Amino acid sequence: MSLSWLHISDFHFTGPSYDREVVLRSLVESVRWFRDNDGRKPDLIFATGDVAHSGKAKEYAAATTFFDALIDAAGIDKRHLFVVPGNHDVDRDEGFGLDRTLESREVADKYFNLNSPTKHSHKVRSFANWYNAYFENLRRFPENSTCGPVERVEVKGCKIGVLPLNSALFCCGDDDHEKLWLGRRPLEVAVAALSEHDTDLKIALVHHPLDWLHCIEKANIKASLSKSVDVLLRGHLHDTDVESSVGIGGPIINLTAGAAYQTRKYPNRAMYVTLEDGCLTVFPIRYVDGPEEAWVLDTALFPRLPGHVKTFEVPGGRGRCGGSPAGAVPHRGGDIDEAPAPPPVELGKDESAAVQQLREDAQARFGKLKQAIVAALDVDDAALKALAALFPTPDNEDSTTVVEWLVSLDFLVGKEVLLMAHAALKSARNAVGAATIIKVSRLLIPWLYVSGHEIDPVWERVVPGQTLLPIRAGSVTFAEIVMAGLDRREVNWETLADPDGFPGGAHARTIRQPEGGMTDTTEANLRDDLFGIVKAPWEAALLGDTEKDDAILRQLRFFLMQGIRVYLTFLVPKNSAARTRAVAMLDRIRARYPVLAIIDLDWELRGEHQDFFNEIRHLML
């Protein structure tokens, strides 16, 4: 069973505007088109703020017309539309004489007493009046809290908990950053109410990024939400963004809708999201002004992914409509710590099965590799002819046959074939053909190198009798190492998951060997580097080393559950005394971060083969 929603934000309704009418009318028409022609019917609609432009009552009449048309196009009723205010729903004229922000935790606790309307609530009075009239007999906008009303809605067998949040209460001008408050007291009550509902998925919606909250409460709010909800929807920054992260309270998916309207001079964006079998698939859309006005698939958000959409697994095994399967991990803070990393492959009776599985995986990647090379040559006849001219039977210009020959070559022979084909096309001033040879080289050279070396296939374990994890650099991610240049002390690169079939799996975002090799400060520097690489919650930086390590380890394990392993690369010193110190240090690092993969860049790659790498560098960059 699947459920879909439409996430929209930032409309800025004001007086009559033909420009806005064109864009938002097209959105309504496109929602109807997606429903009737693409089978993309939203079951829910979430609007994350800035309904109006300046929070004046007269601006909301146009909002009523728009939302009526939108829910009609979607084929839903008002019960399945959820709206929160943004900074433009605040009437700044009503803010004179009020505190700009709150300056202490004690003042905030007293301010959010929940027994009477907040002193700033009249700043969003026009929004509240419109909200109460529009959703009459369904829900009311809270005056004494920034949170709620909490609801559970059931659609197509899916039970969704909804937590609206009002981050606009303290908005006043263009300097709102880190001056806003939600209040820990009202959030605590709302989260408790949400937990009472039996749900398959819990969604919170808010206008501002949580980093805009005051630093006094920011960490607590983030931790509470990451512990209590599965998905956080927001707007405000007028740009689409999707992120799966781990907070101190646990993992959470953050979805940011772009502005539905910011004039036709700038991008207007929104997104569909589909929940199915514990996964969320994001289908981003954007407005195009010609040849006819329409909202279409936004290919810019995921430009290199199939279909330009992306799927995320809902944390904690949730998001399975009709109830979680047996053994699913409940979603509560700290579960990510309890989720074990995949068990290491044991030696002995299980080794042959493990090796066989790795061999089958490698064969599958090999098939994808050959398909990628054939695809590249099929669209460029000149590159195919240049390679075929070097084939043992020169008149054979069948791409599949040529590729089968290429992948069977020795590394040195294959390198020469690619260099000769590239040089021939450059001499003929065929830039397109030369570029195709470079693309083929990036795919083929790593394969030829790895296939010509004997590699320990069961690499995710420590070999008995050794204290270092013996991973040959070439067996893991040789292409990126070549492009970065092994002759440098510092190596940085980024990769995509399973790029064109090789190397397999997703690799590290950044890998850095400490400048100057292993030193007494390496361990402390590594902690700081990892903290930034894995995007651990910044609040943990204020804690001690142990708490910081816990935050890093949580994120590393979460990445591993998503198929992403973070690597640390280094060169083991040959000097025995230096090696002893490095081994002891790496043992401590491995014990502290057991899911961190440690790669020894073997000396051979920096030695006898370095000249070969320098020779083909222009084919790899």
**pTM above threshold 0.85:** no
d(CA 431, CA 412): 25
Question: Average pLDDT in the 88-115 region?
Answer: 91
183, pLDDT greater than 70: yes
Q: What angle do CA 231, 232, 233 make, to 5 degrees?
A: 120
User: Which of 3-7, 87-91, 377-381, 616-620 is the least confident region?
Assistant: 616-620
Residue with tokens 């019917």: 41
The pLDDT-based confidence of 617 (bands split at 50, 70, 90) is low
Residues 6+ apart with CB under 8 A from 338: 329
Tens-digit pLDDT profile for residues 304-326: 788 889 988 898 788 888 644 43
Please report, for residues 345, 361, 603, the alpha-carbon distance to residue 456 in angstroms, rounded to integers and kept in the order given: 12, 15, 17
Assess contact for 536 and 529: CB atoms under 8 A.
no
**Higher-scoring residue by pLDDT: 265, 100:** 100
User: Which of 283-287, 357-361, 411-415, 573-577 is the least confident region?
Assistant: 357-361
Tens-digit pLDDT profile for residues 211-244: 999 999 998 999 899 999 999 999 998 888 888 7
Query: How big, in percent rounded to 5, are the helix, strand and coil portions of the chain?
Result: 45, 15, 40
Greatest Cα pair distance in the chain: 88
**Higher-scoring residue by pLDDT: 41, 538:** 41
Tell me what pLDDT residue 306 has. Answer: 80
Tens-digit pLDDT profile for residues 536-592: 555 555 667 887 788 788 877 766 555 455 666 555 666 667 777 777 777 788 788
Compute how many other C-beta atoms are within 10 angstroms of the C-beta atom of residue 161: 23
Question: Average pLDDT in the 423-433 region?
Answer: 90
Assess contact for 261 and 23: CB atoms under 8 A.
yes
Percent of the chain with pLDDT over 90: 40
Segment holding 222, helix H or strand E: helix 215-228
Bond from prior residue into 291 cis (ω within 30 degrees of 0): yes
Phi, psi of 208, deg, nearest 5 = -90, 155
Tell me what pLDDT residue 35 has. Answer: 94
